[in-house]
Chain A
């Protein structure tokens, strides 16, 4: 078990370009999340997958953002026509849902993908 893996770790792009981030969750984890974090703030929820189904998208996720999780394994987050306000660290996380609905499930984060839009 190597943990949640994200690629690339850093990306510098020009405004208007498209970027894509990849996330490989912990094996057998059926839940996958994307969060965004800016300096001095805690991570903010963007979207959530259970297996291959995208079950919720935050209002933070504009039409320029799209996430996929084909076959319920790895996930990609694409940002089209990037803007300077998109500069942030994009965090992927995963967890394993359990039958015990009265206990929380631990969510493990990757190291993040830093995006700088110039």
Chain B
């Protein structure tokens, strides 16, 4: 069974203080690792998909990296508007089909001005 563990559960940063969120996973054949951002009371908003170890993707102040066992979401010089819950999910191979995501519990990021 696919599993995703995110750490820390909560992270509080000062504006401009860079940090990283961790996503450890076990999956039977990785099809993709996804990062989503979720604001309170809203659905997850897609950020990145990573497909293979060594891959990196960037978007504004966010950079996602992937190894064979974990992914990191690096946040550089965060702003208060980056405050949200960041969700990590994996999509594995199940009988040759590629569909559902298995999510972690998320990291609640708070950036103080």
Contact = CB atoms under 8 A, between A and B. Distances in A.
Interface of A: 4, 6, 31, 33, 40-45, 48, 50, 55-56, 91, 95, 97, 101-112, 114
B49 A104 contact: yes
A42 B106 contact: yes
15 contacts: A41-B105, A42-B103, A42-B105, A42-B106, A45-B101, A45-B102, A55-B99, A56-B100, A107-B46, A107-B101, A109-B36, A109-B43, A109-B44, A109-B46, A110-B43
A97 B65 CA distance: 24
Given A43-B44, A43-B87, 16 more contacts: A33-B99, A42-B87, A42-B89, A42-B103, A43-B103, A45-B102, A101-B96, A101-B98, A103-B31, A104-B34, A104-B49, A106-B46, A107-B34, A107-B101, A111-B42, A112-B42
A26 B46 CA distance: 14
Given A42-B89, A91-B44, A104 B32 contact: yes
Contacts of A56: 99-100
B100 A48 contact: yes
B91 interface: yes
B99 A111 contact: no
Contact of A105 (B44, B98, B105): B98
Contact of B43 (A40, A91, A104): A91
B38 to A, nearest CB: 9
Contacts of A108: 46
Nearest to B102: A45
Minimum-distance CB pairs A-B, first 5: A104-B32, A42-B103, A109-B43, A104-B31, A45-B100
Contacts of B32: 103-105
Contacts of B43: 4, 6, 91, 109-112
Q: Most chain-B CB neighbours within 10 Å: which of A45, A95, A104?
A: A104
Given A111-B42, A111-B43, A106 B49 contact: yes
A40 B99 contact: no
Contacts of A41: 105
Contacts of A50: 99
